[in-house]
A and B are shown apart, each in its own frame.
Chain A
């Protein structure tokens, strides 16, 4: 086995884990890093802040609690009750109790003992104190760092006696950064320009070009849509479509314009409450109308309304605070200092929306719920007004026709089959006719007379209603927030909406900095507080998610949880530095993105050495760049872009690219609406995956591993299963892209064709071995298609676009088959 050459035997201690142990052994016990995690995992469940569940009136999550009842006596481990309890063999005394499914390791016991021996120092949870800018450390090699990020990374590597990896090739870098910032592979011309640019800022120029690209916002919107549980339908039984895509376009636009993150926050949470709120600011609040909306028959509206409220609290807490607060719905949080009162005080901010918890029918297809904002274009508005006017005119004319007809009946100019109607009409001028009798006349007229009138008012009404209905299918009424219905909010016993307890008012959790006295006590106050300078979490949570986008894993791996049970970050100083950098520079998101992707840390190769694998398998020290599989959305975008099929139009209503037949109908067993998949034609088949219609009950078939878009999701998974291979090998999307890719290279010299295709996908030329393998592959495919030209025709017929008839089908098919292989290379499906 190879070990890092420079380290020799010392390397054994240099596994990251080993070094931590070394740190503790050498005496520097850090309460937050070494002790609290043990107590939190094993003790806080019963001895934490949830008073109703607390055993023996003992709490260990506060300094007072630890000092009480001789639980912890500084300097005297043997007299400290917790040490006695964890060492005893008596099952009645033993802690944690044998039936608790929790147990301490010998090392953990020893650590606790040493902590007490050393005086049992205590401090608060790191993430709950506002970050201050840490000093940039000095490095062993002063020349490697390009910016402060690198100095933190290098300092940590120094302490483990590890070294950063070399810088990646220009080809690797441009593919990596273009995918990361725009979600698309670089164009060959962009690669050429970068390779030709010998200036020291060549890479920075690329980065600046990408940050200014309109596709940047499309790429960066993806994680935000996951967090916002955005979908194009409500979920549940009828799963009615919505118009929330207008908000999706707002997100893309705001990201492209680099809207400062504090504004981005405030407008989405409370844009409607800003003074003189604009239409766009009201639209932004669609953020919290993206939740599931249950339209099932029989559901209890008020119960559903509380489901919406709980969802808003959970999403807000996870997305901005990195806290899981759902536990506090029923009881005080077991680990984090969040009380049930805190939970409902936060919920109160969302409880004034004039909504009833269910979805209403707009058209057969669309189900939506007030409050809504009309986001139609002027043309649509004009069209709607004209249609409504015409409809009303037709209705008026029908009424007039009825009057005329009644007159004719009375004068005997019109024979009425039904004598009872004639009788009624004869009484007609007198006001005594009842409502029912009038209705009877109207109905008779409508059914028997109106249809055959020369002026066709009935038909006109029908036609115009149909047109109006069709218009409504496309007439964006976006669900947004409003505080138009003030309600009292109560703590709910065990989260049960039927058992309200004490009344609460809008407030922020008690353990965090409080709302300033002048702050409005409403959603706006809460939103502004989330991005207040003193508030310790938001900036950290956000830079951590940025890091996750560019480095595969967050600095805090549990990017959804920064609470006491979260992972104590190895790179806390780096995280804090980045958070301060963001917060104190006007929440300038692109600035921090630029810092990250221009760092030396980012520019390393992703090669995995045996020793790195052994010492740091998860790459937590960033001694190399990460390699990870591209999200399925980007796999599709890459295939479309590399093959030249991609249509780069930005924004607009969702599209319906290829999906196997019956995905929607086989899910839907209802006949209440037509669930036929309205597959797009032409350009809409080739739009970016961001615009694919997202049916909440059944995600797009080829976007595997995608977030479920049901709850707030801030961490994606990239798994590797045979089902994914089936998708990228057999889905018409990829087969058609392979053919289009082959078509683009058929004008090249024969021996260059596959190399050019290879480069369009991977941004680099194949080496000699790869060239030989590609040629071998082409030979095999060629032989097969030559023997069976019909198969070639069939293979080339996959997809809606037509093959180029000028090209020899056998040659083209063979090249297309190899291109399908290229699109499926590990390197192609990975970002490295």
Chain B
């Protein structure tokens, strides 16, 4: 009767020793048993897979700042001083050769170069160059490693996001966050280990959707999928008690439900019943832990100020950044913020300034806040996007208001900061047009391998068996980029 799922699975796992002949015939394969064992502890403390982490991790958790739509490396991070002189001149064919463009510009006959929207400046002791549109991120430059040699094969948003976050352009694979919580468990007591929060520019200018497969668990058990905290209504679906049923009434109901279930457990002996009782209790706790997480009234003003003027607006990127810190404090393993609006095909100057205004201060503020609490030492913060943008302009060069840049995956920029990252550095380099990587290429799979490495995971060894083969985040590719590591 007191058999818990864990001890039960412990027995099953011991049985595996006997089953090792031929291995898989009878009992669940190791990964499935381990997944179950761990999954049953959803939100209930640290439970890593056997043998994980593979080595001492630098980061205990990761915060992903996703710049959805394709953030312009040309304008923000990859400084190319020569472009100004070449304004509106055609990008040489020799530079362009072979790059696959989206169908929006593939038919273009000329490719006039468009220099960055604003000058770059040097930030911090390290002197890393970034756009002057990024004063707050820039102010943390000494903690950041800017990566200017990203590369993806994707030409469009949904495949590009899925490629970066799940390792496959086609939906259906587990996301990075799902892999991490599956492998490492969570330290959050009564909150999900993998949380996703989304936001968008106010004008909702660009038409990307946030698909669930960006935080899906794919074929690994669905407990590991990201839990989306919503920006409106109940932050977690169905979190609020029904009208007319207060906490005390719910407590009474759960007590009686628990007694009835325990009575049944005595008759049926199925440890699943025990698990169910525990999950109902956890749901009750979440009904207070989540509102408590969202209650930012007790944050001192100087902390709120770090995140900028929108911090109190629920659903804003700034609010989500603050929540990311609060979740990190409470032990979540992976916190994924997705902000959309970077798809600047046209009206580039207007959108770019809006987007940097909305994201720069909260991102920089989050880094500062983590740092002043000492949390940047064991938290990895990564800022990523599905691809960069073309150095040449999209639209009509005689109509500056309508300028834009098209999608561009052959070279673009992201950054990492915090635990294990070589601070105040720049990794990788492109040619003078920010068009071709010339040093230290960082392919999507290299990026995934590097993130996993920082969390103590060998990306080649974290696999999940499905449809007769071992799957992993990085498919059969990926090299850890040592130059990014401290």
Contact = CB atoms under 8 A, between A and B. Distances in A.
Interface of A: 15-18, 20-21, 24, 33-35, 37-38, 41, 101, 105, 107-108, 111, 235-239, 292, 294, 296-301, 303, 307, 310, 318, 324, 327, 334-336, 498, 557-558, 560-561, 563-568, 570, 606-610, 613-614, 617-618, 620, 627, 629, 660-662, 666-672, 697-699, 701-702, 704-705, 708, 710-711, 717, 719-727, 729-732, 735, 769-770, 773-774, 776-777, 780-781, 784, 790-798, 813, 817-818, 820-821, 824-827, 829-830, 832
Interface string B204-217: 10111111110010
B22 A101 contact: no
Contacts of B22: 20, 24, 33-35, 37-38, 108, 111, 568
Interface string B260-292: 110111011111110111011011011100000
A770 B212 contact: no
B208 A722 contact: no
Nearest to A229: B172
B314 to A, nearest CB: 12
Contacts of A335: 468-469
B348 interface: no
Contact of A708 (B172, B256, B467): B172
Given A606-B268, A780-B256, A798-B243, A666 B198 contact: yes
Interface stretch (B58-66, B123-131, B222-230, B369-377): B222-230
A719 B39 contact: yes
Contact of A813 (B9, B244, B269): B244
A292 B200 CA distance: 25
B310 interface: no
Residue from the set B20, B227, B239 with the largest chain A CB neighbour count within 10 Å: B20
Interface in B72-98: none
Contacts of A327: 469
B233 A662 contact: yes
A300 B103 contact: yes
Given A301-B103, A726-B236, A770 B227 contact: no
Contacts of A297: 104, 207
B256 A776 contact: yes
B53 interface: no
A20 B25 CA distance: 9
Closest 3 CB pairs of A and B: A795-B244, A565-B468, A17-B19
Given A101-B460, A570-B26, A826-B276, A236 B268 contact: no
Contacts of B486: none
Contacts of A108: 20-23
B15 A15 contact: yes
Interface residues of B, number: 106
Contacts of A301: 103
A324 B268 CA distance: 38
A691 B213 CA distance: 23
Given A697-B209, A797-B243, A784 B249 contact: yes
B478 interface: no
B317 to A, nearest CB: 13
A297 B340 CA distance: 16
Given A237-B209, A770-B263, A608 B468 contact: no
B234 A20 contact: no
A832 B268 contact: yes
A670 B157 CA distance: 14
B212 A699 contact: yes
Residue from the set B238, B256, B264 with the largest chain A CB neighbour count within 10 Å: B238
B234 A298 contact: no
B259 A727 contact: no
Nearest to B407: A298
B238 A730 contact: yes
A732 B243 CA distance: 9
A620 B9 CA distance: 16
A434 B238 CA distance: 64
B300 interface: no
A795 B223 contact: no
A827 B269 contact: no
A299 B155 contact: yes
B402 interface: no
B316 to A, nearest CB: 13
Contacts of B341: 669
A439 B280 CA distance: 69
B476 to A, nearest CB: 10
Contact of A722 (B172, B211, B279): B279
Contact of B468 (A294, A564, A781, A790): A564
Contact of B227 (A723, A773, A781): A723
A200 to B, nearest CB: 28
Interface in B105-150: 106
Contacts of B23: 37-38, 41, 108
A660 B237 contact: yes
A668 B216 CA distance: 17
Given A661-B233, A722-B286, A773-B260, A613 B209 contact: no
B11 A617 contact: yes
Interface in B157-174: 157-158, 170-172
B245 interface: yes
A830 to B, nearest CB: 8
B11 A614 contact: yes
A671 B205 CA distance: 8
Nearest to B467: A324
Given A670-B207, A821-B253, A607 B460 contact: no
A827 B22 CA distance: 37
B91 to A, nearest CB: 19
Contacts of B272: 627, 629, 720, 826, 830
B27 A781 contact: no
A668 B469 contact: no
Residue from the set A24, A570, A777 with the largest chain B CB neighbour count within 10 Å: A777
Given A299-B155, A720-B279, A798 B242 contact: yes
Given A607-B268, A697-B211, A723-B227, A825 B156 contact: no
Contacts of B12: 617
B156 A821 contact: no
A611 B200 CA distance: 55
Contacts of B248: 784
A793 B242 contact: no
B332 to A, nearest CB: 15
B103 A730 contact: no
Contact of B43 (A618, A722, A796, A827): A722
Contacts of A769: 263
Contacts of A723: 227, 236-238, 283
B246 interface: yes
Contact of B237 (A18, A498, A727, A826): A727
B256 A777 contact: yes
A236 B214 CA distance: 12
Interface string B331-348: 000000000110000000
Given A669-B208, A820-B253, A721 B271 contact: no
17 contacts: A20-B25, A101-B461, A237-B208, A307-B170, A608-B270, A610-B3, A617-B15, A618-B26, A660-B237, A662-B232, A698-B212, A719-B222, A721-B222, A730-B238, A781-B253, A791-B244, A821-B253
A24 B238 CA distance: 53
B313 interface: no
Contacts of B204: 669-671
